[in-house]
Amino acid sequence: MEGASFGAGRAGAAVDPLEFLRRPQTILRIISGVFSIVVFGSIINEGYVNDGSSPVLRCVYNNNDDACNYGIAIGLIAFFACSFFLVVDLYFQQISSVKDRKRVVLFDLGFSGFWSFLWFVSFCFLANQWQRTPSSKEAHYAGDAARAAIAFSFFSIISWVALALKALQRYRLGTDMSLFATDQFPTDPSAAYPGYPTGSGVESTETYQSPPFSETLDTSPKGYQMPAY
């Protein structure tokens, strides 16, 4: 169980920083983190406007504060999740237990799939509220930021779905038990398995040889007669 499993090498092996940064999974996490920054950053900076009649700032999405709060919350949590999983990926190869690796991959798979759904909800929610927003000077001023949050919510759906597929691929690699047999069995299919007793190829006639059937009938002495009573 010390061999490669769940997309990582042997436990304790050194991690090449350049190779780690070139991994598709690492690139996807960085991209997803950048998308989340654009979403919650756009809403925080320009997502709240003042219509002039009240000093209270209202959400640009149809004055619905729930829309702004949802986009900010999803973006912030996604950013911290990307940072967390980047650290986990960096130290994943140091995990020696296959069961622990499996739990990490399953958690990554579940979280990525669930957050893809939440990004889909965010995209639909923000787009719907933006369509209902009445035209005004304030809406025009914050229009670019509002549309950017909607667009990058859509892009985040794609990136998080890709992360979920990568986690599913790692899980399938972990369940392939042939990965753990490479160090124990030879690569040559014609070679004998280690530890298997090899014989001369000639079947022995002395072991497990039963006596002929005729001998079992002659076990009683000849001429034996039943005594008369």
pLDDT digits (tens, 9 = 90+) for 13-47: 566 778 888 899 999 999 999 999 999 999 999 99
Question: Which bin fits 7, alpha (ψ -120 to 50), beta or left (φ > 0)?
Answer: left
Greater confidence, 59 or 218? 59
Q: For the chain, what is the mean pLDDT?
A: 79
Q: Please list, in sequence order, all residues whose beta carbon lies within 8 angstroms of the beta carbon of residue 81, skipping any fewer than 6 positions away.
A: 111, 115
Helices marked H in 178-222: 213-217
Task: Specify whether the CB–CB gap between 145 and 75 falls below 8 A.
Answer: no
Q: In degrees rounded to 5, what are phi and psi of residue 7?
A: 80, 10
**Of 151, 93, 92, the residue nearest 126 (C-alpha):** 151
This prediction has a pTM of 0.70
Confidence of residue 185 (pLDDT cuts 50, 70, 90): very low
Q: Give percent above pLDDT 90 in the chain.
A: 48
Residue owning tokens 């950048």: 34
Task: Note the pLDDT tens digit of each residue in 144-159.
Answer: 999 999 999 999 999 9
CA distance 36 to 152: 8
Looking at this protein, which amino acid is placed at residue 59?
C
What mean pLDDT do residues 161-189 have?
68
